[in-house]
Structure 1
Amino acid sequence: MEANEISLPLQTDQQVKKKKPVEIHNYPKESIIQYSDSERSYTYDIIKEGNYPHATYLKYTKGQKGFRIPDNYEVKVSLRKPKTRQVVRCMIKYMEKNPVYWIYYGDKFQYHVKSEKSSSNAACLYAKALNPEIKTRYSGPHFFGLHLEILQQARDIHQRATVLKSFDNLTSTGQNNRAKKIAKSISTIFDQVTAKDCHSDDNLSLKSIEFDIGNNSFYLSVNKENIEEIKHKARAAVQACDKGQVSREGYRTLASISQDLPREWKVSVEKRDITREMNEIIPISLINILPGSDDFVNSEIHINDAEIVHNMQQSIGKGGRRNVVDILKYLIPGLIERKILDVMNPKIHLRISGDGRNVGRKVKQVMITCSILDDIDNLYRPENHYTIVLYPGVEKYETLNNVLKSLAMELRKLKEEGFKDNQNIEWKVELYFSSDWKFLAMCLGLNAANSRYFCPWCEVSKEQQGDFSYEWTISKTMDQVREDYTFYKGHIRPAIFDMIPLQHWVPDELHIMLRITDVLWRLVLDELRSRNTWGERARNVIIEEMKRIDVKFHFWLEIGSTNWQYTSLMGQDKLVVLQHFDLSKLFPYSRAVQIRSLWDKFYLLHKAMKDSKTDATQFSNDARAWLHQFLDSNYFYQASDITPYMHVLVYHIPEMMRIHHNFGLAAFSCSAVEKKNHQQVSHFFKRTTKDGGTGKGRKSAIIDILEYENRLLYFKEHDEIDSMQLPKRLRVK
């Protein structure tokens, strides 16, 4: 043995070998697992066993040769000896397909560290949190118990036991449960991502999830339902259906193909609630109508749909009415807010209008409306003319006088006393009336337009129409009509609205254009007959020319007659003919130029009449010049060809322009009222909404219309569609 050499004791094989790892447990009956090896000892209390994610994103502690890392795993870990024992709670969750590690510590586990790197990094962070000066290192897999064989085996067993069935092999309940489970997982991920990537003030909320599984589509609502939002959407749907006149069945069909729309039953509930609410604010009164005669309609038939005619006839005898004051009280706050009305000058200019739609040959839908002239920019909209009386039947003085008695009393009181709104503001009301000639004359108790004394405003006779030596002005007064209507020739009955001064009975500029255009066209056809050029060739030329200017027009012979009938043109078509019809295809050039000059000048008068900036004196001069030209011997037209509308155009329209210059004559156009009446008849007397039903559900279509009008008023002040905030639709590739 060499000097200084020290003899070492021999080591046995048992001393060289390391202690084998030991797992002591009765898992899964008991949650405690004790582990020890030659270097460490741990006690694990399994809270959540967890599971291994899908192989596509399963992670390992050291590549694929290490331990598999579970998801949704939670364990309470005790480490070291009893005197220095530490107890922590460890958690692992996958976020965005990567495991994240948490260690909670403290008496109540109130502190924690988190790592997105590894279990060992999390253990290291924990050690530093306890004492930054001590360089203690832990094995991450052992700290978290990732090495425990019993847990690995248990997870594998559970995974094999829960092999998913294909979706098509599940029961209906199973399919729904799987869809809900997917939605819950998505909701959890959403919460995790928003917590990480969004500011705490952003207030994010996941409302719904939509996805397909094979051929099955799912739409799942997430979290608690927002009752107010659901109600808001349903009321917006009611508004849309009313605006587009979509039937209940039509909406049900739409809702069946879109999850974005509220269910039809919910929409019906909200529609009923709005109707009840508005019917309390603006009640609807029923009117009993005396049966009229079976007189046939001699004028143009506006609607000839057999179903509508039948349903209208079934409703005869039922009328409805709403009070003007109720409507005004409801509208005033909005009009004040829009600065249409001024509380410092509480005055309302109220226009009354009437229209009768010919439905078939025996029935009319008669509508009386009111509108607020102060809201001048919106008078062209049908919804700004509010129905106050509505009935199906005949358009005769006796019926009107009976139906309109209550309205006349209300208007008289408004004229004399005004009314107080809901804020106790006293409002004065100035009344106006406008309609077509027939309705106006009937309400005035005047003879028909073809009578000798026909004018509502002056005492002209038929024989005096072509005599330019007379200066016809508004010479009649309503006071005289009210005192003794027989004082003026042609007045054969009391005026129904005798509280409205005659200067405020304004002719409808639309009907002036329509009826004078009718006369000009009829005179052209009469001239063709007088020239013996009326025949098949002339009719074919007219049809071809109408095609050229895109106007639908045709001739036909009535059965058993030799008289040719022709299409009655609508308003816009009449203007097109007036402007663009090539008369030279029917007449010699010189004659065509003469007629074209007359037509063009009338068209210019029509435009000027609608323009509130037109000078009344200049218009008067131009209108008189036009009538002189009309009666010129070169035109072959006679004084007998002058119609009441021509008389009004020349003599009374200039006066009306001066009197009503604040509004302009366009404010008294009845086109919106006629459109409103036509739309309502066409919709509400169809089969799906007709007067019918059974038992308690039976309700008149007239009431349906007035309830619909009440809802329009509701949406005028509560625009549910406009206040809807639609989500941005984005596409993620």
Structure 2
Amino acid sequence: METNDAPLSVKKKRPIEIYNYPKESIIQYSNSEQSYTYNIIKEGTYPPAAYLKYTKGQKGFRIPDNYEVETSLRKPKTRQIVKCIIKYVEKKPVYWVYYGDKFQYHVKSEKSSSDVACLYAKALNPETKTRYSGPHFFGLHLEILQQTRDIYRRATVLKSFDNLTQTGQNNRAKKIAKSISAIFDQETTKCCHLDDDSNLKSIEFSIRDNSFHFSFNEDNVEIKHKARAAVQACDKGQVTREGYRTLALISQDLPREWKVSAEKKDITYEMNEIIPISLINITPSPSDNSVNSEIHINDAEIIDNLQQSIGKGGRRDIVNILRYLIPGLLERNVLDITNPTIHLRISGDGRNVGRKVKQVMVTCSILNDLDNIYRPENYYTIILYSGIEKYEILNVVLEPLIMELRKLKEEGFRDNQNREWKVELYFSSDWKFLAICLGLNAANSKYFCPWYEVSKEKQGDFLYEWTINKTIDQIRENYTFYKGYVRPAIFDMIPLQNWVPDELHIMLHITDVLWRLVIDELKSRNTWGDRARNVIVEEMKRVDVKFHFWLEVGSTNWQYTSLMGQDKLIVLQHFDLTKLFPNSRATQIRNLWDNFYLLHKAMKDQKTDANQFSDDARAWLHQFLDSNYFYQAGDITPYMHVLVYHVPEMMRIHQKFDGGVGKGRKSAIVNILEYENRVLYFNNHNMVDLIRLPKRLRIK
């Protein structure tokens, strides 16, 4: 019998997922062929699209990372429970299946979920031909899990760094830093001994163009030491606040500028309590409209500050400075408590600040500290004022210092440990300052010598032995007793044999004379013209000295650069005189210059024999006056007289001491004295030595 009825079609059962996920971790799945029960241990996440992998097949399910599930395989006769895990290793998924009563066995595959499922089946029965669907075995097809992961991914997807707020950027960087710190702690427990005391100090990394530096475990003492070391470095290098702020912007290793400024204030306050700074009101000196030919300080801010400080000065007590220094000097064996005598030198000098402003500084130094006598930080400013070197002003400004020096000489002083110290006083400066303080006429007067009553006419006479024949006691009693004195001596408590010539100014002034005589000789030879001036400028360039000529306004006189100390020594040693004179004459002048340079070196050498120096100095003066040199007795200057006759004598008296002077320091009056106080602090507390820099290594 035929029938028109069409054959019945068998409909496949639609897949069903039964769940209350994520409140409950159980998901039941079934279709027409099989059923599974999944217990979700770790939901996992989809990795970045750059290396997200998919299962094979038409649907191609996404493969999550850090995914863990217990799968129950429902069979008519048996029930199997396995634990399935997926993790990405080097951006590729790896599959594990654990089985057994306690999941004590496992199989692993790097190929696919289906491959590891088959490995599991063969592990149970090597002869089996059963094949499992990998996606179903692992539950990769479950829509609820895919949806949940997508929701989570949308909620937690990271914004690009540029789209974050400043706070968001900082928080992300902090999170990274904390993770690195945690990893460091984990690794050091494995790689370091318990006694190694390993600490993560800092890390630095960048995101986009933003650099981050994080410090860890940095205690307040370490931060304070670093900030004070920065103050020390800024003071030593004269780095301004703005300059340091710029440096701190470049390097995260440096303490922040606000912290450095705070420590600087603390040190200044601390030292001002120990060594107070007193202000002095000075009757302004008559206006001095002269232009400074040689500028020592040319900082606009300093010039402005000092212009406003004219008529004012500052001072510090010597005793306060000594009391602060003594513990360190005893520790370095500079002073000896069994021989409690301090040899204290007073020095003074003027400085040109810009083209109009002048500054006068009086310093003291401890001659016992022979190894550091040339270091500028060992010259301690005790008087500072804006103005000129003039007897009337100095007599007023130095009055408190004079009283203190008298007391020191007569009574000594007691330190902070109540130990008694004697003080031997000395004085050293350039000729102008020395003559003012002694009440002498100017250096070009007929009777010019502070130590011997000799007239200018006789200073080139080698028949005389010009040794000290004056006394400070006689000058104090009656200053007109000796010719050339026009006022009472200011420092009349210092013995005249302790007024020591200053080797630096001897070198500077005699070098000036030797150079001036070269110019004068060129003029006398009628070779002084553009060609000679150009040769001199080019030769100065060769020896790396800045030098130029210029015509005075409304005059035919040529002026030239006044050289500084180091430049003068370079010219003295290296200027090629054959560019200006015939070879024979150039050789004569060069020998004269070289011999003077040797005398200069000998003056600075503590081992120099005074008698040998006397012979060499006299021989040099004979050479200077040789008729072949065209130099006459009238060309001899007071500094040459001192070099030949009084330097050897002072060497015999003070062989263990020298007469150098320290450098001036740049700042306004109170700032300079506060700076000086900080120098004293850092002499006793070298903060730089407390800083331990990390070893810098590179990992490729």
Bin of the TM-score, shorter chain as denominator length:
0.7 to 0.9
Residue type of the partner of 2:245?
R
Aligned to 1:293: 286
| 2:396 is the counterpart of 1:402 | yes
Q: 3-state SS of the aligned residue for 2:689?
A: coil
Aligned to 2:487: 493
Deviation of the 1:437 alpha carbon: 0.6
Q: Which moved more, 1:166-175 or 1:606-615?
A: 166-175
Partner Cα separation in structure 1 for residue 274 and residue 101 of structure 2: 68
Distance 1:259 1:468, change over 3 A: closer
Aligned to 2:660: 669
**Correspondence 1:308-387 to 2 at 5 A:** 309-360=303-354, 362-387=356-381
Distance 1:561 1:732, change over 3 A: same
| Equivalent of residue 268 in structure 2, options 262, 267, 275 | 275
Aligned to 2:224: 231
Partner Cα separation in structure 2 for residue 459 and residue 647 of structure 1: 12
Q: Which moved more, 1:702-711 or 1:462-471?
A: 462-471
Alpha-carbon RMSD: 4.1
| 2:560 is the counterpart of 1:566 | yes
Q: Is the 1:355–1:367 Cα contact (8 Å) retained in structure 2?
A: yes
Partner Cα separation in structure 2 for residue 224 and residue 553 of structure 1: 55
TM-score by length of 2: 0.79
| Equivalent of residue 631 in structure 1, options 600, 625, 629 | 625
Aligned to 1:519: 513
Deviation of the 1:223 alpha carbon: 5.5
Q: Is the 1:50–1:74 Cα contact (8 Å) retained in structure 2?
A: no
Residue type of the partner of 1:504?
N
Aligned to 1:576: 570
Deviation of the 1:200 alpha carbon: 2.3
Deviation of the 1:662 alpha carbon: 1.6
Deviation of the 1:659 alpha carbon: 0.9
Residue type of the partner of 1:423?
Q
Partner Cα separation in structure 1 for residue 449 and residue 89 of structure 2: 85
Aligned to 1:211: 205
Aligned to 1:265: 258
Aligned to 2:157: 163
Partner Cα separation in structure 1 for residue 103 and residue 275 of structure 2: 76
| 2:385 is the counterpart of 1:391 | yes
Deviation of the 1:359 alpha carbon: 2.9
| 2:277 is the counterpart of 1:284 | yes
Partner Cα separation in structure 2 for residue 561 and residue 122 of structure 1: 114
Q: 3-state SS of the aligned residue for 1:432?
A: strand
| 2:668 is the counterpart of 1:705 | no
Distance 1:702 1:56, change over 3 A: same
Q: Is the 2:306–2:669 Cα contact (8 Å) retained in structure 1?
A: no
Q: Is the 2:351–2:664 Cα contact (8 Å) retained in structure 1?
A: no
Residue type of the partner of 2:511?
T
Q: 3-state SS of the aligned residue for 2:664?
A: helix
Distance 1:636 1:310, change over 3 A: same
Gaps of 5+ in 1: 1-22, 36-43, 60-64, 76-91, 99-116, 127-145, 685-700
Partner Cα separation in structure 2 for residue 408 and residue 121 of structure 1: 102
Q: Is the 1:53–1:70 Cα contact (8 Å) retained in structure 2?
A: no
Partner Cα separation in structure 1 for residue 364 and residue 517 of structure 2: 37
Q: Is the 2:20–2:27 Cα contact (8 Å) retained in structure 1?
A: no
Deviation of the 1:348 alpha carbon: 1.7
Partner Cα separation in structure 2 for residue 177 and residue 361 of structure 1: 55
Gaps of 5+ in 2: 1-16, 29-38, 54-60, 71-84, 106-137
Aligned to 1:727: 694
Q: 3-state SS of the aligned residue for 2:444?
A: coil
Residue type of the partner of 1:260?
D
**Correspondence 1:46-445 to 2 at 5 A:** 70=66, 158-159=152-153, 161-215=155-209, 217-219=210-212, 221=214, 226-297=219-290, 300-303=293-296, 305=298, 307=300, 309-360=303-354, 362-445=356-439
Distance 1:358 1:212, change over 3 A: closer
Partner Cα separation in structure 2 for residue 266 and residue 626 of structure 1: 58
Partner Cα separation in structure 1 for residue 629 and residue 431 of structure 2: 27
Partner Cα separation in structure 2 for residue 397 and residue 122 of structure 1: 108
Distance 1:335 1:559, change over 3 A: same
Q: Is the 1:348–1:372 Cα contact (8 Å) retained in structure 2?
A: yes
Partner Cα separation in structure 1 for residue 374 and residue 343 of structure 2: 16
Aligned to 1:101: none
| 2:485 is the counterpart of 1:505 | no
Residue type of the partner of 1:676?
G
Q: Is the 1:52–1:155 Cα contact (8 Å) retained in structure 2?
A: yes
| 2:476 is the counterpart of 1:482 | yes
Residue type of the partner of 1:475?
N
| 2:612 is the counterpart of 1:612 | no
Partner Cα separation in structure 2 for residue 121 and residue 55 of structure 1: 36
Distance 1:218 1:469, change over 3 A: closer
Partner Cα separation in structure 2 for residue 259 and residue 361 of structure 1: 40
Partner Cα separation in structure 2 for residue 591 and residue 635 of structure 1: 8
Distance 1:94 1:727, change over 3 A: farther
TM-score by length of 1: 0.75
Q: 3-state SS of the aligned residue for 1:234?
A: helix
Q: Is the 2:346–2:365 Cα contact (8 Å) retained in structure 1?
A: yes
Deviation of the 1:533 alpha carbon: 3.7
How many residues align structurally? 628
Deviation of the 1:329 alpha carbon: 1.6
Aligned to 1:464: 458
Partner Cα separation in structure 1 for residue 250 and residue 576 of structure 2: 51
| Equivalent of residue 529 in structure 2, options 527, 532, 535 | 535
Deviation of the 1:438 alpha carbon: 0.6
Q: 3-state SS of the aligned residue for 1:506?
A: coil
Distance 1:630 1:263, change over 3 A: closer
Distance 1:121 1:185, change over 3 A: farther
Q: Is the 1:95–1:189 Cα contact (8 Å) retained in structure 2?
A: no
Identity between Structure 1 and Structure 2 (%): 73
Partner Cα separation in structure 2 for residue 233 and residue 469 of structure 1: 64
Deviation of the 1:68 alpha carbon: 7.5
Q: 3-state SS of the aligned residue for 1:365?
A: strand
Residue type of the partner of 2:637?
T
Distance 1:289 1:542, change over 3 A: same
Q: Is the 1:183–1:220 Cα contact (8 Å) retained in structure 2?
A: no
Q: 3-state SS of the aligned residue for 1:219?
A: strand
Q: Is the 1:486–1:492 Cα contact (8 Å) retained in structure 2?
A: yes
Partner Cα separation in structure 1 for residue 100 and residue 424 of structure 2: 86
Distance 1:648 1:264, change over 3 A: same
